[in-house]
């Protein structure tokens, strides 16, 4: 039989050197506070409780204890606070979140705005408009002068566009503005047939294309020579149909344009109109057969576009030609007036505007308005 040996295991004390090791074994070094706590016996625990000092709230109901100095209970994971100091209720105790459709839409209250007083109520008007009404300048000229600092209101310079003032305030203009205004030209043209007054249309050239050095009338007594800047902002003051001839005024001066074609213009325009009586087209003497009552209607009593026309001076110039003098200029006014009384216009020529007559100015030529001439 094989002899069995009895092996006895002994606890290692750490003082002996285990077999196979040259150095003694070291116990692991524990950090501060990591030493194992000694288990207390029941008697030792009872003795510690007896020696603990009594708390002032010991024995009182929990609801009556002051919680000013009591630490807040540590929330569970499902009760994590949304921000410090606030406990979130349990997930199953929260009300369901409203959907976007069920959620009421509440507009944030806005602070009330102060009441705005309409500008018309304070009695002030735009400075440029007041200057135009007083005849000091056109609206465009007024804006230019204000930007240049040439306008004073009650002695103070006003250089901001859109400024509003009271109608009774005093307005003065710097002499430099008057000098610049004097340099603006006005041109008198004898317009031929086939040219339009304003911008080009239907392939027809505007009358301003005739303002060239070679077309300046030799009888021009203004002693002014043509320059390219004279064409800048040169605009017609009153239209003349493509089939009409005669005096056409083109100007850079807004005051002249307003005086000639403004709504409250009192400047007379004189025309010579050749007509044909529709009832008797072959008549040699239209003036002899045309009814006097219809002539009176031409003078006063007609309406165009629902508007009653102002009184007009109408008289016979010869057997086929009428002389019209009127103070308004609606589109194709004379031609439409004649149609209402059975007349057909075969020729129309403007011979005067205010005190300025066409005179001997040849067809297709032009001249400057002299400084001593006024409309």
Question: CA 187, CA 215: separation in Å to the nearest integer?
Answer: 12
3-state DSSP percent of the chain in helix, strand and coil, to 5: 25, 20, 60
DSSP calls for 28-53? PPP-TT-SPPPPPPHHHHHHHHHHSP
Closest CA to 130 of 139, 118, 119, 121: 139
241 is known as an active-site residue: yes
The residue whose two tokens read 């003098």 is 325
Cβ contact 192:340 at 8 Å: no
From residue 343, alpha-carbon distances to 87, 127, 294, 312 in Å are 99, 48, 10, 16
From residue 42, alpha-carbon distances to 39, 46, 47, 50, 196 in Å are 10, 6, 9, 13, 124
> What burial letters (b/e) apply to 291-327, b meaning 16+ CB within 10 Å?
eeeebeebeeebeeeeeebeebebebeeebbbebebe
Alpha carbon 270 to chain centroid, angstroms = 42
Which member of 170, 241, 284, 305 is catalytic? 241
DSSP calls for 184-210? --EEEEEEPTT-BSSS-BTTBPBGGGG
- In terms of DSSP H, where are the helices of the chain? 42-51, 127-133, 139-148, 175-182, 254-261, 286-289, 292-299, 333-340
Question: Cβ neighbours of residue 349 under 8 Å, at least 6 residues apart?
Answer: 244, 245, 246, 271, 272, 273
- In terms of DSSP H, where are the helices of 229-364? 254-261, 286-289, 292-299, 333-340
The catalytic site residues sit at: 241
């Amino acid at each position: 039989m094989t002899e069995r040996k009895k092996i006895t295991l002994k606890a290692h004390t750490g003082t002996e050197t285990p077999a196979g090791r040259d150095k003694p074994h070291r116990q692991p070094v524990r950090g501060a506070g990591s030493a194992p706590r000694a288990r207390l016996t029941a008697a030792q625990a009872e003795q510690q409780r007896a020696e603990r000092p009594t708390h002032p709230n010991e024995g009182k109901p929990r609801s009556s204890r002051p919680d000013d100095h009591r630490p807040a209970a540590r929330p569970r994971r499902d009760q994590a606070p949304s921000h410090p100091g606030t406990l979130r209720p349990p997930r199953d105790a929260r009300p369901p979140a409203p959907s976007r459709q069920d959620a009421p839409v509440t507009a944030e209250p806005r602070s009330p705005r102060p009441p705005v007083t309409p500008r018309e109520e304070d009695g002030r008007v735009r400075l440029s408009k007041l200057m135009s009404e007083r005849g000091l300048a056109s609206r465009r000229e007024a804006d230019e002068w204000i930007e240049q600092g040439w306008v004073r209101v009650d002695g103070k310079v006003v250089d901001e566009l859109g400024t509003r003032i009271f109608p009774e305030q005093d307005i003065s203009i710097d002499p430099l503005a008057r000098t610049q205004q004097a340099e603006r030209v006005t041109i008198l043209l004898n317009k031929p047939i086939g040219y339009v007054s304003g911008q080009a249309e239907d392939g027809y050239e505007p009358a301003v294309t005739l303002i060239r050095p070679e077309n300046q009338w030799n009888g021009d007594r203004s002693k002014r020579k043509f320059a390219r800047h004279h064409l800048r902002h040169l605009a017609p003051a009153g239209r003349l149909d493509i089939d009409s001839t005669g005096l056409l005024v083109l100007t850079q001066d807004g005051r002249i344009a307003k005086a000639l074609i403004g709504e409250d213009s009192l400047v007379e325009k004189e025309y010579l109109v050749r007509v044909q009586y529709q009832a008797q087209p072959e008549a040699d003497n239209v003036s002899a057969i045309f009814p006097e009552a219809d002539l009176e209607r031409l003078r006063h009593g007609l309406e165009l576009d629902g508007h009653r026309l102002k009184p007009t001076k109408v008289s016979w110039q010869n057997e086929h030609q009428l002389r019209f003098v009127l103070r308004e200029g609606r589109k194709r006014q004379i031609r439409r007036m004649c149609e209402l009384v059975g007349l057909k216009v075969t020729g129309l020529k403007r011979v005067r505007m205010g005190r300025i007559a066409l005179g001997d100015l040849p067809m297709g030529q032009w001249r400057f308005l002299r400084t001593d001439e006024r409309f």
